[in-house]
Amino acid sequence: MKTFNKIIILSIFPLVIGCATQVSDLVTSTNYSSAESDKYESVDKIDTNLDDLIYFEFDKASLSSDSKDLISEYVEFAKNAKAIRLEGHCDERGTREYNLALGEKRAIEVKNYLIIKGVSSSKIKVISYGEEKPIDINSNENAWKKNRRVEISLF
């Protein structure tokens, strides 16, 4: 019985991974220039009058329903924009290289949500600064909350 269970786990787990990898590749494989240096100056930035920060939980990259609502409001602007820049950030806790990766996961999460809503993936640029560029340099819960973010800019 135990071995049978093991077999089931063994056979299901790769399937799950296979699917997940396939989907994410489908969604984003069209764009490998995500990390290219952005050629857009801040003067070209489109003012949407929307909050441009999406917040996250500690060590998490998933979007809350509030965040999803906020991103949805961006969709119309995003469809008309020339380029969209998503900048992922983390709070100071945890290690720097891991946070660099986590910031990227956060930005990608926002990117994928925009794509689902019909924004062309080719114009979305993603970058992570990890914990290197905090908004608030203090070491407390309030500061950390502000620093765990993705910044959205439209051009």
Long-range contacts of 140-148 (CB under 8 A, 24+ apart): 143/91, 144/58, 144/91, 144/92, 144/93, 145/55, 145/91, 146/55, 147/89, 147/90, 147/91, 147/92, 148/55, 148/56, 148/57, 148/58, 148/89, 148/90, 148/91, 148/106
Site for other proteins in 106-125 (CB under 8 A): 107-109, 111
**Distance of alpha carbon 112 from alpha carbon 59, whole angstroms:** 19
- Whose Cβ is closer to other proteins: residue 12's or residue 50's? 12
Least distance CB 44 / other proteins (angstroms): 15
Q: How far is the CB of 12 from other proteins (least distance, A)?
A: 11
Distance CA 155, CA 146 (A): 24
Q: Which residue has the tokens 């809503």?
A: 117
Count residues near other proteins (CB under 8 A). Answer: 53
Stated as kind and residue range, the H or E segment containing 128 is: strand 124-130
Indicate whether 104 belongs to the interface with other proteins (CB under 8 A). Answer: yes
Q: Per CB under 8 A, which of residues 4..23 are in contact with other proteins?
A: 6, 9-10, 13-15, 17-18, 20-22
With CB under 8 A as the contact rule, the residue among 57, 69, 73, 132 that binds other proteins is 132
Closest approach, Cβ 49 to other proteins, in A, equals: 26
Residues 74-103 interacting with other proteins (rule: CB under 8 A): 92-98, 100-102
Residues of this chain that bind other proteins (CB under 8 A): 6, 9-10, 13-15, 17-18, 20-22, 24-29, 31-38, 58-59, 92-98, 100-102, 104-105, 107-109, 111, 126-130, 132-133, 137-139
